[in-house]
Structure 1
Amino acid sequence: MSNTLQPFFDHWRNRYLLMRHGHSQANQQGLIISSPERGLNDFGLSAMGEQQLAQAVAEWGWPAPSRVVHSDFLRTTQTAARVASAFKLERVVDKRLRERFFGDFEGQADAHYPDVWALDSLDAGHCQHQVEAVSSVAARMSAVMEGLEQQYDGETILLVSHGDPLQILLTVLAKKPLTQHREQPALLPASVTLINA
């Protein structure tokens, strides 16, 4: 359930663990939940997600985090809380790690994801169906890491976010065109990707 990527440049000050939230109630119900109105207080982890987190913490095979930063959606907050508790760390919320907003498809069946991804592959700046552009997600996710690089040195920082934002960030880090973000290996719920410093 992990992927390891080398950084696209060799002067990271910190090491990063990118974690997708555990299996959620939205995953269970096959729904797109991407708005703060729905995601902040509802659609937390499913029973399966709770089990995934318990297993991930019990079998932690990555460097121990020294900081935990997470999206403020319920499913990411619960995920971050499980890991932070295990390592006796405080958590910091960063709204820029939120789920990508899927516009007109909010609250609808997750069968609509491929429709958006097909448009993404043609234009990373598109906002069709009121969807947040891939380029916008890339900018905010990159800004999180750039800010942490300026603020800390020698830390192992766990970023807990969502599938699309993390795959878009990994595309940036790999220096690939943003239109190719779905060509990254799919990030499974509760998976961790290590960015080596």
Structure 2
Amino acid sequence: MSNPLPPIFDHWRNRYLLMRHGHSEANRQGLIVSAPEKGVSAYGLSAQGERQLAECVTQWRWPLPTRVVHSDFLRTTQTAQRVADAFGLEMTADVRLRERHFGELDGEADRYYPEVWAQDALSGEHCYRQVEALSSVAARLEAVIAEWEAAVANETLLIVSHGDPLQILLTALSGRPLTEHREQPALAPASITLIGARAMA
């Protein structure tokens, strides 16, 4: 599934394929897995996620990536690996692409997400139940993009992260208040959103 955005970032030196990981064991079990103590070594792709990635690489419809950068959680690492293997690319892990930390709700049922999102709509700085603030998530993901913009040019980078962080990033890049991140179209597992330079080979 693709989530096309208008190519409004023409001043950028690169383009970016923002990819949410495929359907995971956390998704299958309906759990919030946001702490690295759990997410780095467990809760990888589900069987459904593996099917999504197999279909994604065999029916690739986006520009070919030149680099793969990913969160070090197992579900994102496995997602990145499937694409990297398909195109013969090396991978770079970056902890700043990790899932938003959901504090006291880590390990709880995913039915608690709306409770956090309701707080998000009120403040980009809240730490309700020790959940990571929207401003913190936006800052670390924007820093990843900024560093690659400074380091390379005319490349297509696949950035593999998680649903909430990517929606927050897209909201920040659009110049909208972070409190509106849930107004972004939801990013489905294994979906890709293309942003960045428009006129590139």
TM over 0.5: yes
C-alpha separation in 1, matches of 2:113 and 2:9: 32
Where does the alignment leave 5 or more consecutive residues of structure 1 unmatched? none
**How many residue pairs end up in the alignment?**
197
Q: Equivalent residue for 1:156?
A: 156
Summarize the alignment of residues 1-197 of structure 1 with structure 2, pairs less than 5 Å apart.
1-197=1-197
Task: Tell me if the contact between 2:9 and 2:195 (Cα under 8 Å) persists in the aligned partners.
Answer: no
SS at match of 2:193: strand
SS at match of 2:4: strand
Residues 152-178 of structure 1 deviation map (CA, whole Å, 9 limit, x = unaligned): 100000000000000000001111100
Task: Tell me if the contact between 1:7 and 1:173 (Cα under 8 Å) persists in the aligned partners.
Answer: no
TM score, norm. by length of structure 2: 0.96
2:50 alignment partner AA? E
Root mean square deviation, CA, Å? 0.8
C-alpha separation in 1, matches of 2:3 and 2:112: 26
Residues 1-48 of structure 1 deviation map (CA, whole Å, 9 limit, x = unaligned): 111223554310001000000000000000000000000000000000
C-alpha separation in 2, matches of 1:175 and 1:17: 19
Where does the alignment leave 5 or more consecutive residues of structure 2 unmatched? none
C-alpha separation in 2, matches of 1:58 and 1:101: 33
C-alpha separation in 1, matches of 2:111 and 2:104: 13
TM score, norm. by length of structure 1: 0.98
Runs of 4+ in 1 over 6 A off after TM superposition: none
CA drift of 1:128 comes to 1.1
SS at match of 1:18: strand
C-alpha separation in 2, matches of 1:7 and 1:93: 27
2:68 alignment partner AA? V
Task: Tell me if the contact between 1:167 and 1:184 (Cα under 8 Å) persists in the aligned partners.
Answer: yes
